[in-house]
Structure 1
């Protein structure tokens, strides 16, 4: 809040109308609501009325606090003819927050009489407490998000995301805010992460540098990426900057921590370095494919236990290089190397039939683990599902073998082992019989299609 209270003038000697009619036309405070220890600027405009009979020499412009103490002053400001005005600048800082009332005074010497005229004006505004707060937000992107089909677009337009101000790391290093890029294409990126630096505090942040360090999500947690530091322009309170950090080639899914080191404006005045920090963690790459095993039938044959089921993709991402095999479990022999069932590529909402055979002791085995391995965005994943093993044979069984069909209405029910993925039955899907191959095995049948 900023308010101005107009004061009067005083003339040395008799209380007569002065020949020089000096007025404080304007007193502005910048910023309008300064923070504690932030330098506040008072922009003062002084005028000599056009109806004045004399010119005036401005000897002093000063500002006082509520106790009358002078906070800043300027001497020998200049001369004012009738109808002229001039500007003066004063500075001050505040140690405590709250409402402040300052008085700006102008002392002028009349050219005709030599008398001094003093004009004052009050200004009231709020001083905010200092809050240093930099928020870092990260979002994993796909390289396709940064590409455009329109080759005529500028590099900034080709980013496909508005407001991006730079690409760093990997094939990056491009400052997209540079108008000199012209028609150049944006740099190729492998693993882009959008980083938004938001200043939610009350003081500016500068000397901002970003660094990204990642460790594998699965396995031994070994470091997979370490890029940076990358310099980002300063951010004023209430503003933000968005950049792309390219992590480079990644063959393992990683938890990546992006750290922003920075210096607050108050630190600069105190000769403090950029030793503050903010961080955000993102998992890369994005994982959008969701494998599911449905419509499972388990039967015991002379060659072993056969699992006949559908592999579906209930997610929005594409699975490539998908293979299905039987995992290790009590009473169940895993599929030997080279004996996996090759499925290939599954798009979103697609499914394909498969069958795998394993040697199993049905008197011991309670469930058969179905292992699905696939690639998404260059990273190889393995998910394990479970289907119930067939019931042990009884004395009155017929010669057709034991058949176990899971679920009601023909839809199989399978459990996920250590995957945490929700399983979605692809109900009502119509299969189409085609021929396909099996790695290391005989030709088998394949049913594939898209979920409705």
Structure 2
């Protein structure tokens, strides 16, 4: 009986021990996961990511050889931590990636785009499921440094004008370390939408280019100007970037002038119809060549018509139209093209031959042009009559032995119109100085074919001076004319009084005369004593 009870206790003890061993073994098995997975490696392509361009993070997921179960790789995610909300934000994700057996690896690319440059601290998160549908998640930290990757654009429209094509200068730069291709730059305003487009086939890394575009604002004041750039990234994707700035738009100023003058043959602006000069018998030279003097090959009847754009917008299709005084087009002369475009602040001159319209005394030249889509006309009259001109006649110049000069002459108006504000003066030079009382002489107004006497005084260095310069200033029409001539001095032996040294001869004669008087007086006294 006792032995039977002992056997029962031993059997119970054995069963208990076996149960404990089973429980212990089960506990150990539960503590060791069937799938031991890890993210063993991670790379970033390109090596230097740029903002706005695709960046690929390649993760290598490995299932350890000691795993007791194969796994299914459910997803691999690229996540960033949102510290404010204490949650992870998924940047990019790859799913349905296949399965892994013990000891195998699987490479998974994840592509994301980073809009802002700088350092981005991320984590790669891989999730697997084993044969018992148990889910395991592992992570690996990774840092991605993103450079400024979009093309930069700045633009300026300093002369924007309402209703007119206004130039915009856009500067486009590529701050990345790779070439950008197929850049399309569009400048737009909210009022008109797309206005101007320019293309850049290739913009190399680190380079800058400047584009000239245009807009046509409709309202004055501050307006928004937007640059829209689309381009092909180094990875082959099309990206778009916008930039907005303010531009100041000015009201349109229509200010065009026409000037007509007799041609000098060199197609340059002159005194505006002033003719003549004080050459001729005096051989003088003019500081300002007068129109109408047939110089430099200018033909009889040719006139220079100058169109000037004083406004703030370009004028286009500029044409000069010769007309009679009542506005009838002179077909014998015909229209003359001045310029296709005349920018603000510029002028253009054309020479028009009026010889075929000699019977018309007074002409009018109209300049027709287009401004901000509208046609305009401005004109100027031109009188074919020879304008006023001056000439010195009957010159009488005397030089005294002390160097004082007295010049007397007549100033004549040899032109066909009145001149006014006439002033004649001696010009100071190295050997000539204007002297009181008549350094200058005011004549005033002279009608056509009239003349007035002129008197001038000066002093000269008679040993060195050979001529006296004389300047004549006068106004004809709306122009102030300045002309200079030179009048030759007579030789030294033709001066008034005595020739140089004549004063010394007079002194000698005086001394001899006094000596003779003294001798005669002495003889007379001696004879009295005898």
- Into which bin does the TM-score normalised by the smaller protein fall? 0.3 to 0.5
Which one has the largest radius of gyration? 2
Instruction: Give TM-score, length-normalised by structure 2.
Output: 0.36
Specify which structure has the higher proportion of helix: 2
Highest relative contact order (Cα 8 Å, sep 6+), 1 or 2? 1
Report the TM-score when normalising by structure 1: 0.41
